[in-house]
Amino acid sequence: MATTTETMKAKQTHTEASEPLPSGFLAKGIPAPFTHRDGSEFGEIAYLKYLISGLALNNTIIIAPTNTGFMQLALNFNCRMRTLGVNNVLYWALDDTAAEILREYRMPFYHNPAFVSIATKEDYHSEKYLEMMYERPPFWRMVMKTGFDMLFLDVDNVVIKNPLEDIIGDADLEAQIDEMTLTMALNMHHNPQMCGGAFFLKSNDRTLKFLDRMEQAFIGKENGIVDDQHALNFVIHDQQYARIINRYEKHGKKEVPIGGYQEGPEDHRISVRFVPVETFMNGHVWRWSVETDLDGGMSLVNDTTSEVIKEIDVSMMHLNGILNK
């Protein structure tokens, strides 16, 4: 867990400059109203809005969470985004040391001391892992209340191209598919699982109600829910709260979007679009259903017949499900 060495290296890389850092950094020169935050939701939303407003592009901010244990991935993620010219990224520091390292590297970040602070890598569904996941819905809601749209990306997403270019923008929620097999990911009559580490969320009243319902299900452990992704999928698969615009049910000879069409302007349900798996790919599909050639080309391979389906051009790949990462 100790990161003193990393912090010292950061200090050696970036000399102690006397001039204030650019706006959007938690360091010298932040406005007086934010030098002594009281931890209230109202104050944190105002502070987030201040940080995001200096970074957002087309009213959209990319949020990338990291703690000290995932800092190497975060630094790699930052390097790749800068190479692509994607600068509307705000890092969410999950512990004090992570905040210190991000500050030394002059990476724009948000840190809320009122949230649980866990610096170490945690096993999936360990007690501390679940504590970190519990903070996500309240944080997402605060971002939505700033009025900015959000692309939320865990730093174990390997970014190849600007992922914002694959967001259609016709749904409240657009996200990565998180199925174990390619067959289920491609099945347009199956309502797939969604990944909580790669999704786009619009700021509006429907998404706020959606997040309220998600947090309620999480707190109540409804249907055995134990983490944020369980809660996310529990709500989007409930047609009282969500409708899926690019997955279909058969009604006689007709195919209708799962959950039906929007029921007028008063329809409070969130609209959901799944980003194609060959664009926002998860680790399970990558491991079992992708072939690469010597020139770097990639092809989808049928997971039952091993036949090549088509060549693909992936924007990003999530390391979830990849062994020895």
CATH number for 57: 3.90.550
* Domain-located, residue 9: no
Of the ranges 1-10, 89-98, 125-134, 158-167, which one carries the lowest mean pLDDT score?
1-10
Collapse the DSSP code of 138 into the 3-class scheme (helix H, G, I; strand E, B; otherwise coil) and give the result. Answer: helix
- Judged against a pLDDT cut of 60, whether residue 83 lies above it is answered with yes
**Structural domain that includes position 144:** 37-278
Segment 105-116 mean pLDDT: 94
Name the pLDDT band for 28 (thresholds 50, 70, 90).
low
Residue 3 falls inside a structural domain? no
Joined together, the tokens standing for residue 297 give 């080309």
Q: What SS3 class is residue 291?
A: strand
In the prediction, which pLDDT does 172 show?
98
Domain-located, residue 246: yes
Reported as a pLDDT band with limits 50, 70 and 90, residue 314 is: very high
- Identify the pLDDT of residue 252: 87
Q: Is 21:104 a contact under the CB 8 Å cutoff?
A: no
Report yes or no on 19 lying in a domain.
no
Q: What pLDDT is attached to residue 123?
A: 87
Q: Which residues contact 60 (CB under 8 A, 6 or more apart)?
A: 88, 148, 149, 150, 151, 164, 200
- Confidence (pLDDT) at 324: 46
pLDDT value at residue 21: 42
pLDDT at 322: 62
Residue 68 domain-assigned (yes or no): yes
Establish if 11 belongs to a structural domain.
no
- pLDDT of residue 118 exceeding 60, the answer is yes
Look at residue 6 and tell me whether its pLDDT is greater than 70: no
Whether 21 is covered by a domain: the verdict is: no
268 assigned to some structural domain = yes
**Which amino acid belongs to residue 207?**
T
Q: Is the predicted pLDDT of residue 108 greater than 60, yes or no?
A: yes
Query: Is 321's pLDDT higher than 80?
Result: no
Average of pLDDT values for 191-195?
A: 96
Rounded CA separation 184/191 (Å): 9
pLDDT above 70: residue 24:
no
Residue 188 has pLDDT above 50, yes or no: yes
Vertex 191 angle, CA 218 and 214, to 5°: 15
pLDDT tens, residue by residue, 229-273? 999 999 999 999 999 999 999 988 899 999 999 998 889 999 999
The three-class DSSP label of residue 275 is strand
Look at the chain and report how many structural domains it folds into: 1
* Residue 214 in this model has a pLDDT that exceeds 90: yes
Looking at 22-31, 244-253, 293-302, which range is the least confident one?
A: 22-31
